[in-house]
Amino acid sequence: MIKASILADRDFAIGDIDPRLFGAFIEHLGRCVYGGIFEPGHPTADENGFRKDVLDLVKELGPTIMRYPGGNFVSGYNWEDGVGPVEERPTRLDLAWFTTEPNTFGTNEFIDWCRAAEVEPMLAVNLGTRGADAARSLVEYCNHPGGTALSDLRREHGWEKPHGVKFWCLGNEMDGPWQMESKTATEYGRVAYEAAKMMRWIDPKIELAACGSSGRNMPTFGKWEDEVLEHTFDQVGFISLHTYLNNYAKDTPAFLASPDLMDAFIDEVVAIADAVAAKRRSPKRIALSFDEWNVWYRTRRNRQERVKEGWPVAPPILEEIYTMEDALVFGGACISLLNHADRVKCACLAQLVNVIAPIMTETGGPAWRQTIFYPFAQMSRYGRGRSLRTSIKSPSYSASYFDPRGPQDLYYPVPSVPYLKASVVANDDGGLTVFALNRHLTEPLSLDLEVRGFGDLGLAAAETLHHRDLSAVNDKENPDRIKPDRFDDVTVSSSRIEMTLPPASWTVCHFARPK
Ligand code: AHR
C-alpha cells in the first residue's frame, strides 16, 4: 500500500468551471454522422432520422457543447451544399477522409439535433479551401433574423428563427500539412483576422476561437500561437489546443503519465497568450479551447484504418475500441482539464459516436458505451462549480513518453509522475467532489484528505472504475464488461476524508452537506 494526501480549502480556488469544459465533437467522418447520430430507417429513429438510442446515451454522457462539422472535413466543406431541399444537395468527394459525402445532413439538421440533445452548437468555418467571405455568409445565414438574401434563405429552408450560434471556430488545424489548403502562421493569422472581423460585424455577440497548433509536437508549436495571436488578439476570445494521447510504445506507466503533458501544454499556451497580451500592455486574457482531446492511436497511423478505398459513404474508420487502460488515461486527462479551469473555458472530447468515441453503434443495430464513456459522464455530472487548488503529497515515478508525430519520433521525459493525480471541485450545491486516479499498477493507494471550509459533509455517491485486465473492453456482446462499481472504501468525519483507491483505478466521490 502506498500513501498520499490532499489538502484543499473552499476559499482557495483555481477558478470557476465553465460548463463548456464538457463539450464533444461531431465530424462528417466515418460513421459519426451517418449511422451514428443520424440513421433514417433505424428502429429507434425519430421523424428527423435521429437515432433515439444514441440521443439517450448522449444525454447520459452529458456533453454541454458540440463542435461541428469538422475537423479536417471542414477545410474542404461548402456549407451551402448541406442546406436546402435534400434531393437537390450535391454529392461530393471529401478529400479529408477520401469518402463520398452525400450532404443529406447539414447545418440545419445539426442545429435540430443539438436542440434534441440539449447541447449548445459550436460551428467551425472553412478557412482552407474557402475563406472570410464564406465564413461571414454562414454567420448571416445562421444568425441574422431575416430580410436579407441569406437569412431569408434559411427561413425558406424551414428555419424561421435564427439559430443564434454563439461559439465559432476559425478553421481547423491550419498548421497541418494534411489539411486542405494548410497555411503558414502569417497566412492563417491574416485570413482568421479578416474572417473574425466580418463575422463579428454581422453578429457582435459571437465568440471566436483561433486555431492553435494541431499538437504540442508540431515543429512550429509556440511560434504559431504567438504569430496567430499577434494577428487576431483583438478579434478572438479563444485559442485552440488539440491532443491525442497514445500508447504506441506499449509502456503503461508512461501512457498513464501522458495527461501530465497536457498540463504542460496548457501552461505553455497560457504563457504565450499572456506574452502577446503583455506586449500590448493589455489586461485581456485569451481563454483556451481544448477542442479536440482523447486517447487515439490504434486506428491512427495505419492507412487501412483511416482510409477505405473506392470513395465509400460513411465507411467504418477510426473506430477505436477503448480499453480499461485507456479509460484511466482518459480520466487523467479529465483531471488535467478540471485543474486548468481558470483558463480552459471550453473543451471538446473528440469525438462523440463511432469515430474515436465514447458511444458505439451498429448500423441498424444497438448502441453501447465504451470504457471512456464513464469518466466523461462523471466529470460532466459532478464537475460543476469551482475547481480548488490542492496541495498533493504522493510518491512518484519517472517515465518517458513516446510521441511520434513531430519532425522525428520524440520521447518526452516526465521526471516526476505522482502516483496520485486528483482534482477537487467545490460543487454549486455546497458539496464537494474528488476525482482521483491511482497510477500505481499493483499497489492500492491510501488517501487522506483534509478539506477546509465545507462544514459537515456526508458521502452522497462514490464509484470506482477498475478491472484486473487493463486490456478489457466493452463490445456489442459484452456492453457492460467495464463499468463503474460502487465504491465503499471511503469514510468521512468532519473535514477528514479517508479512502483506499484500488491499483490502476479511477474513482469519483461526491460529498454533500447534510440537508
Ligand atoms: O478527430 C479526428 C481528426 O483529428 C480531426 O478531423 C482533426 O482535426 C484531427 O487531426
Distance CA 104, CA 377 (A): 30
Alpha-helix runs per DSSP H in 220-346: 223-232, 252-257, 259-279, 303-306, 324-338
Q: Give me the pLDDT at residue 407, please.
A: 58
Nearest residue by C-alpha to atom 5 in ligand 1: 71
- Confidence band (pLDDT; 50, 70, 90) for 410? confident
Residues 306 and 292 placed together within one structural domain of the fold = yes
Angle at 253 between CA 250 and CA 256, to 5 degrees: 100
Q: Which atom of ligand 1 is nearest to the CA of 178?
A: 10
Q: Over pLDDT 70: what percentage of the chain?
A: 99
Q: With 60 as the cut, is the pLDDT of residue 252 above it?
A: yes
- Average pLDDT of the segment spanning 314-327: 98
Instruction: Please tell me the chain's helix, strand, coil percentages from 3-state DSSP, rounded to the nearest 5.
Output: 25, 30, 40
CATH no. for residue 425? 2.60.40.1180
Cα angle 165, 163, 233 (rounded to 5 degrees) comes to 20
378: confidence class by pLDDT, cuts 50, 70, 90: very high
Protein residue with its CA nearest to atom 8 in ligand 1: 71
Q: Round to whole Å and give the CA distance between 9 and 151.
A: 51
Residue whose CA lies nearest to ligand 1 atom number 9: 71
> 397, exposed or middle or buried, with CB in 10 Å at 0-12, 13-18, 19+?
middle
Please compute the mean of the pLDDT values over residues 509-513 and round it to a whole number: 95
> pLDDT tens digit string along 449-497?
999 999 999 999 999 999 999 999 999 999 999 999 999 999 998 889 9
pLDDT score recorded for residue 95: 98
Closest ligand 1 atom to Cα of 29? 6
The mean of the pLDDT values for the chain is 97
pLDDT at residue 405 is higher than 80: no
Helices and strands of the chain, counted as H and E runs: 11, 24
Q: For residue 495, what pLDDT is reported?
A: 84
Secondary structure letter of residue 363 according to DSSP = T
User: Are residues 335 and 264 part of one domain?
Assistant: yes
The pLDDT value recorded for residue 403 is 87
Give yes or no: 160 in active site. Answer: no
- The residue from 336, 363, 387 where one domain ends is 387
**45, pLDDT greater than 80:** yes
Total residue length of the chain: 515
Residues 200 and 314: their CA atoms lie apart, in Å, by 34
**Largest Cα–Cα distance in the chain?**
69
Ligand 1 pocket test, pick from 27, 101, 216 with the greatest ligand atom count within 8 Å of Cβ, gives 27
- Do residues 134 and 270 share a domain? yes
Round to whole Å and give the CA distance between 59 and 65.
12
Confidence of residue 514 (pLDDT cuts 50, 70, 90): confident
| Whether 294 contacts 244, CB under 8 Å | yes
Nearest Cα to 174, choosing from 113, 134, 133, 227? Answer: 227
Query: Where do the H-state alpha helices sit in 132-258?
Result: 132-143, 149-156, 185-202, 223-232, 252-257
**397 in Cβ contact with 253 (< 8 Å):** yes
Whether the CB-CB separation of 57 and 369 falls below 8 Å is answered with: yes
**pLDDT of 110:** 98
Is it the case that residue 406 has pLDDT exceeding 60?
A: no
- 327, 431: one domain: no
pLDDT digits (tens, 9 = 90+) for 62-121: 999 999 999 999 999 999 999 999 999 999 999 999 999 999 999 999 999 999 999 999
Same domain, 115 and 243: yes
Same domain, 366 and 397: no
Per residue in 434-462, pLDDT tens?
999 999 999 999 999 999 999 999 999 99
Measured between alpha carbons, how far is 269 from 225 in angstroms, rounded to an integer? 7
Together in a domain, 427 and 372: no
pLDDT score of 60 more than 90? yes
Residue 91 shares a structural domain with residue 151? yes
CA 124 to chain centre: 14
Query: Is 173 one of the catalytic residues?
Result: yes
Ligand 1 site: residues with CB under 6 angstroms? 27, 70-72, 172-173, 214, 292, 350-351
Residue 302: per-residue pLDDT: 84
Summarize pLDDT for 112-153 with one digit per residue, the tens.
Answer: 999 999 999 999 999 999 999 999 999 999 999 999 999 999
Which domain-ending residue is among 387, 416, 431?
387
Protein residue closest via CA to atom 4 of ligand 1: 71
How many domains are contained in the chain?
2
Q: Grid coordinates in use for 93?
A: 468527394
222 and 166 in a common domain:
yes
Distance (Å, rounded) from C-alpha 215 to C-alpha 482? Answer: 30
Label residue 36 by pLDDT band (50, 70, 90). very high
Predicted confidence (pLDDT) at residue 408 exceeds the cutoff of 70: no
CATH number of the domain that 286 lies in? 3.20.20.80
- Flag whether the pTM goes above 0.85: yes
Best CA proximity match to 52, nearest among 105, 113, 110 = 113
**pLDDT recorded at residue 425:** 98
| 420-427 vs 99-101, strand pairing mode | unpaired
- Quick one: 274 and 400 in the same domain? no
Domain range enclosing 118: 11-387
- pLDDT of residue 409 exceeding 80: no
Q: Where a domain ends, among 387, 415, 439?
A: 387
Based on the domain organization, do 273 and 206 belong to the same domain? yes
Which of 464, 458, 459, 381 shows the shortest CA–CA distance to 427? 381
Identify which of 73, 101, 172, 299 to mutate to test ligand 1's pocket (most ligand atoms within 8 A of the CB).
172
- For residue 283, pLDDT over 70 is answered with yes
Look at residues 392, 323, 400, 300 and name the one whose alpha carbon lies nearest to residue 29.
300
- 214 CA from centroid of ligand 1 (Å): 9
**Spatial contact of 354 and 36, defined as CB atoms under 8 Å apart:** yes
In tens, the pLDDT along 168-212 reads 999 999 999 999 999 999 999 999 999 999 999 999 999 999 999
370 and 403 housed in the same domain:
no
